[in-house]
Structure 1
Amino acid sequence: MVGRKVSIADIATAAGVSTATVDRVLNRRGGVSAMKEDRVLAAARLLGMDRALDRPPSRTLRIAVLIQTPANPFHAALREGLDLAARIYAAFNMQFFVHHIDPKNPAGIAATVRECHAYNGLIITSPDDERIREAIKALSRTIPVVTLATDVAGCGRAAYIGPDDHKSGRVAGDLMGLFLGQEGGRLLIVAGSRDITGHRQREAGFRQIIAERYPACHVMAVLETGEEQAAAGRVVEVAFRQDPALRGIYHLSAGAGPIVVALQRLGRLADTVIITHELTEDRRRLLKARRLAAVIDQQPLLEARMAVETMAKLHGRMAGEAASVATDIQIFLAENA
């Protein structure tokens, strides 16, 4: 509507309602269903009617959120970000209902997804399993779904908010090669689960750049922990006892602390390069103490906020296109942690 003021008739046409309905909504006279009110306010925002921007919708949107328990520090950060975003955008009248999921139980996750049909939207951080994929695909026919932090391929979701994990893996591989130098060495990858898209993509990116640029470095094994922190320490201790020539660990998931403890017990911490993801408070301490070489952070608080914004856009409660967003990563060393 460049060049002239937006009219009630313009909004009525865009929303598919009468001008009387638009007048009732904008002037808060009541007597309009919540669904029509949402359509009118969305159209007004889209067309740029300023006086509609701060008009709070009367209908509360109930949004389901599926993430792991706070025992996983990254998912605790996602929850913190969602709670913060809910407060920042309270005017959107959206309530978030968090359900904790077990990444080792894809059938249970799929069942939980199917139970979300009574909600107005779903934000989910989940493994990429066929059962989960099909459940999301069916649900997305009736409500918008946003995947957060890691994607689920071919699930019909409306948008993905999170990093380019293949690029993150390449960054980690480049750092590993630079830290080890010309001598290179034998490397271990410790993943939470290869069923998680982000973990597969990180591994692929890491392997790719190691092969391209660092011929003296060799990935010897990929070990999975099931996203359990204690398991990370156990698998690393076993691997280093079996192969004392290991010199580097690329760690993709929970359990950085137990890995450090295991290497300390073996007397191998000082000569092992550990690169991991997500600058949680415990990893910040380990990094400052130079127990970790580098941490690649994907800014979970920002991701969670952007997921909330995207859901608001999908429901017409925030202006702008509800598109997928590849979030930036940050590299932290001991001196900038």
Structure 2
Amino acid sequence: MRATISDIAKEAEVSTATVDRVLNNRSGVHTRTRDRVLQTAERLGYLSAAAGHNGAPRPGAVTRIDFLLPGGTNTFMDALAGHLRTNAEARGPEVDAHVHLIEGFNPDALARKLLDLQGKTDGVGVIALDHPTVREAIREVGGGGLPVLTMVSDISHVPRFGYIGIDNRAAGRLAGHLLGRFIRPGHNNVALFAGSLSYRGHEEREMGFRNILAEEFPDLRIVELREVKDDTERSYTEASALLESYDDIGGIYNIGAGNRGIARALEEHGRAGEVVFVGHELTVHTRRYLLSGTMDAVIDQNPRVEARDAVERLLAAARNQQPPNLPPIRIQAIFRENIPET
């Protein structure tokens, strides 16, 4: 007797609905599951092996990929989201890309969204908080065969197939080197701002910054570390409080976003150009602060290149193809004198 859909579902350990979607070439099943179903159908004689199901995308087949990014007032994340959409759209109708902005630094919301995407997508790119709830969600979806790509900030001990982003520890060391070189003699107090140290990338930047200060600038002293959740208004409030508490702050390193709030506080307190200010990501706002002298340097990671590489690698993994061998994302220090054209 010819095998049935129920037989295939039982052997492949999936639902009959999943088998039906695969056999009718509908979206909503990630590639590894699709391949397992097709191989089972061939082995049971439901499909002829001569039909040729080798894991490559069929003409007209749609590959869905999803990206989970933090929402809020982060201009860099807005730019990255736009570049992800543009890169995916440029690959034609066979790519169905979705960008989801997860509001706030909420690991439970991020984990819920990851779990909700099971069976709906062929691959996920995520900027992930390094939190137990998030790690468990990645283990569950990754263990089920869904390719997971970490972006911008890596996450440890999870089944992710790759990481797209800069070496954040090296970025923190570069920021410390610049601040240490620029700071005025006798102004040895330094403050740090971070979005959240639950991001491994932010933690690594802090570690790199602290390490180079200890090695090369031992006279500099970190007097404050304030987490501002990458929020502009909170950054402004915290920076204003810092400047009111310390008359002798010589430098500020902003590990994450919120540069607009810090710059506004420096300008309103008459400290712009006096306090050395180093931050991350070249945006329309940080470009303006470099030109005005409010910021001294920006460590940039080029979201356009990151988006291109993320789409390319995630598509390859979703289609069960060999991932491309891409060069690492370059860290670039940008000053007023070398701001690139838009």
TM-score normalised by structure 1 residue count: 0.81
- Counterpart in 1 of 2:15? none
**1:113 correspondence with 2:143:** no
The answer to whether the 8 Å contact 1:191/1:251 transfers is yes
Corresponding letter in the other structure for 2:259: A
Deviates more, 1:174-183 or 1:238-247: 174-183
Alpha-carbon distance in 2 for matches of 1:67, 1:123? 9
- Counterpart in 1 of 2:162? 159
- Counterpart in 2 of 1:307? 310
* RMSD of aligned alpha carbons: 2.2
- Counterpart in 2 of 1:243? 246
Corresponding letter in the other structure for 2:336: A
Alpha-carbon distance in 1 for matches of 2:187, 2:212? 13
Does the residue aligned with 1:285 lie in a helix, a strand or coil?
helix
- Counterpart in 2 of 1:179? 182
The answer to whether the 8 Å contact 2:80/2:303 transfers is yes
**Quick one: which of 193, 197, 202 aligns to 1:194?**
197
Deviations 1:262-302 (A, max 9, x none): 11221211310000000011111111121100000011111
Runs of at least 5 residues in structure 1 that lack an aligned partner in the other structure: 1-14, 23-35, 43-55
Deviations 1:244-269 (A, max 9, x none): 11110000222212211111221211
Does the residue aligned with 1:248 lie in a helix, a strand or coil?
strand
Figure out how many residues of one structure are paired with residues of the other and give that number.
293
The answer to whether the 8 Å contact 1:184/1:214 transfers is no
Q: CA deviation at 1:323?
A: 6.5
Q: CA deviation at 1:90?
A: 2.3
Alpha-carbon distance in 2 for matches of 1:97, 1:21? 31
Which structure 2 residues correspond to residues 137-286 of structure 1 after superposition, within 5 A? 137-141=139-143, 142-180=145-183, 183=186, 185-286=188-289
Does the residue aligned with 1:166 lie in a helix, a strand or coil?
helix
Alpha-carbon distance in 1 for matches of 2:178, 2:80? 26
Does the residue aligned with 1:74 lie in a helix, a strand or coil?
helix
| % same residue | 30
Q: CA deviation at 1:215?
A: 1.6
Q: CA deviation at 1:87?
A: 2.7
Which structure 2 residues correspond to residues 6-17 of structure 1 after superposition, within 5 A? none
Does the residue aligned with 1:150 lie in a helix, a strand or coil?
coil
Does the residue aligned with 1:127 lie in a helix, a strand or coil?
coil
Deviations 1:290-327 (A, max 9, x none): 11000000111111110110012213476x53568631
Deviates more, 1:260-269 or 1:193-202: 260-269
Corresponding letter in the other structure for 2:64: R
- Counterpart in 2 of 1:5? none
The answer to whether the 8 Å contact 2:66/2:100 transfers is yes
**1:75 correspondence with 2:105:** no
Alpha-carbon distance in 2 for matches of 1:317, 1:291? 48
Q: CA deviation at 1:103?
A: 3.9
Does the residue aligned with 2:305 lie in a helix, a strand or coil?
helix
The answer to whether the 8 Å contact 2:153/2:201 transfers is yes
TM-score normalised by structure 2 residue count: 0.80
Alpha-carbon distance in 1 for matches of 2:141, 2:76? 26
Alpha-carbon distance in 1 for matches of 2:230, 2:59? 40
Corresponding letter in the other structure for 1:100: L
Deviations 1:34-86 (A, max 9, x none): xx2x62x47xxxxxxxxxxxxx7322112121112363111111112101211
Deviations 1:187-227 (A, max 9, x none): 00000001011100000000000000012211112100012
Alpha-carbon distance in 2 for matches of 1:198, 1:309? 22
The answer to whether the 8 Å contact 2:67/2:99 transfers is yes
Deviates more, 1:123-132 or 1:272-281: 123-132
Does the residue aligned with 1:140 lie in a helix, a strand or coil?
helix
Distance 1:99 1:283, change over 3 A: same
The answer to whether the 8 Å contact 1:225/1:232 transfers is yes
The answer to whether the 8 Å contact 2:231/2:258 transfers is yes
The runs of at least 4 consecutive aligned structure 1 residues that moved more than 6 Å come to: 15-19
Distance 1:272 1:185, change over 3 A: same
The answer to whether the 8 Å contact 1:103/1:227 transfers is no
